[in-house]
Structures are given as structure tokens and as C-alpha cells.
Amino acid sequence: MNMEQLILSLPKAELHLHIEGTFEPELMFIIAKRNNIKLKYKSVEELKKAYKFNNLQDFLDIYYEGCNALLHEQDFYDLTYAYFTKAYEQNIVHAEIMFAPQTHTNRGVSFETVIAGIYRAQADANKNYNISSKLIISFLRHLDEEAAFEVFEQAKPFRGLIDAIGLDSSELNHPPAKFKHIFREARKNGFFITAHAGEEGPPEYIWEAINILKADRIDHGNRCLENEELVKYLADNQIPLTICPLSNLKLKVVDDLKKHPLKEMLDKGLFININSDDPAYFGGYLNKNYIELQKHLNLTESEIIILAKNSIKASMLTEDEKNFHLSNF
């Protein structure tokens, strides 16, 4: 079996995926047309040409623009189900999906419209593809904590559909500590906690995500490598880091996949796994992330297997569910 076949054949979980970041240009144009929404770009080709980013903010500007096409429950269903179809083709057996309600509620789309479409797609994917999934609400960190409290209130009637609370968007100048109170509330309500930290922000933001937000899992976390004590803490406590190689390349967190720190992270005993982040924007879904990194870092078969197993182990699944998937390796 060659490496590509191995990567395809392994059962995998995806733990860092923004559903809005799976919005493929073709689907964006179809949905915009049926909703009578004029996009900033005239064609799929023109839009794709704009996908050149110098940093996280460059990307976020285009990504939020694309979200404007999404208005109705069916739009959120189509977006989410399209992702699950790709996930099925890649042998993803479990997905933990983030969505950012504020991106939609701030445009006048109700929380219920968004979550109803996503949930219906989750249920259909479970039935048709046997893919299990969890849902993560991600607060936008460029907005204030008061706005996060408003979303939290809107989410209350849907508590049973939501598994975790996360934090994303522009990292620099928006430290995790800014959201101290709302994450305390989220924890009190029994949510699993994730937070983007150390993608562009300094190691201090990772410490804050752990010590102040009490994050169960860190999204990205690349910059932990600048702080030895932090690396030791993350490794000793086996705190999962969701690594997104093609995202790191496209947002210039690394300038070449050959210099990606994943191998160094593995060697230091960090509990890492591979994810696609915003695959419609970064040039590939989950398997492409594994394949490109394998090629550029010369990862061995056993390292690939460790990464895939880690994706299952770092998920929110129960121990029994994890053991079931791990028994298929």
C-alpha cells in the first residue's frame, strides 16, 4: 500500500473545521443566485483568484464576505451536507464542526435558521454516511464579550444540539482573557472548551486559553514551540492541539511545508492531530493535508497512523466510541 492509499484507508476524525470555511465557490454562486445576492466577484474564477492571503486577516475578510450568500435553513443544510459528502469520500468517521453564529445573526439571519440547517445535515450524514458529529459554537474574538453573552443566550433553547464552545477570528490583540467570564459560564453549563491560540498570537495566548478559559483542546497552538515550559506542560498533560498544515501554509504561518513544525511537535511528545480548518479556501480537504505533509516532511507510516489515532483520541467521543474506532486500525 502506498502512503496515499494508507491515508485514505485510515478511519479519521476531523476536529478543527469551520463549516463556513467549506463554502466552495461553485456552491457559493448557486446559493447567491437563488437568494438574489450579488457577490463582490463576478465569477467562480475571479473569486478563486482572490484566494491569495498574506495573513489571517486577509483571509477572514474574504471568508466573511462569502458568508453573505447564506440566508435560509436550506443554505446551511446544503453547505453542511456538501462537507459531509467530502468527509465520507475521505473516510472521516467523526467530525467536530465549528460554526460562528455571529457571522449570521449580525446580518439578520436567526440563530435557529443556522442551527436547524446544520443539525438536519448532521442527522442525514449520520444516517446516510454513518458519520457521527459534534457541534461547536465559536465566538468571534474581534467582537466584545458582551456580544458573546448574547449568542450564548440565543443558543440556550438548542443546548441539546451543541457540544462545545470555541473562540476564533482575528487573534492578534484579542487575547483569550478578553472572554474570561463567558467561558466560565460555558464551563458551568458543561460545555467542552476549545480556543484558537498560538496561530498568529504569542505563547502567552495559549497559556491564557489553558489557565483562564480552561480549554480542553487548543486550535493550532503552533507558537507553543517558542516556550519550552509551555511545550512541557502541553506534553505532560497531553492537551490536544489541532494542527492545520495547508491553512498554515496559505496564511503564511509557515512559508514552506518542508519547514512545518509538525514533526518537531511529534518528537517533543505533543498530542497533535491533522485538520483542514477552511478547506474550500486553503486548497484541500483532510486527506490532502495528510498527503502534502507526509511528502514534505517524509512522515513514516507509523507517524501517519499515530496522527490518525490521535484524531480519534482527542475527540469528544466517549471512551467506548473511541475504542470502537481505534479497533479498526
Which among 14, 24, 73, 199 is annotated as catalytic? 199
> Do 134 and 96 touch, CB atoms closer than 8 A?
yes
32 vs 167 by CB, closer to Zn ion: 167
What is the nearest approach in angstroms of ligand ADE to the Cβ of residue 286? 15
Q: CB nearer to Zn ion: give 96 or 277.
A: 277
Report the residue number, 78 or 277, with the smaller CB distance to Zn ion: 277
Nearest approach in angstroms of CB 247 to ligand ADE is: 5
Binding residues for ligand ADE (CB under 6 A): 18, 21, 56, 168-169, 196, 199, 247, 277-278
Q: Look at the block and give the residue holding cell 501517519.
A: 304
> Which residues of the chain form contacts with Zn ion (CB under 5 A)?
277
Point out the residue whose Cβ comes nearest to Zn ion: 277
C-alpha triplet 290, 98, 256: angle, nearest 5°: 35
Q: Which is nearer to ligand ADE, 169 or 294 (CB)?
A: 169
To the nearest whole angstrom, how small is the minimum distance from the Cβ of residue 288 to ligand ADE?
A: 16
- Nearest 5°: phi and psi at 156? -55, -45
**Nearest residue by C-beta to ligand ADE?**
168
Q: Smallest distance from the beta carbon of 325 to ligand ADE, in angstroms?
A: 26
46 belongs to the catalytic site: no
Structural contact between residues 81 and 124, judged by C-beta atoms closer than 8 angstroms: yes
What DSSP line would sit under 243-311, residue for residue? Answer: E-HHHHHHTTSSS-GGG-THHHHHHTT--EEE--BSHHHHT--HHHHHHHHHHHHT--HHHHHHHHHHH
Fill in the amino acid letter for 11.
P
User: What is residue 217's three-state secondary structure?
Assistant: strand
Q: Which does 200 bind (CB under 5 to 8 A by kind): Zn ion, ligand ADE, none?
A: none
Tell me which residues are annotated as active site: 199
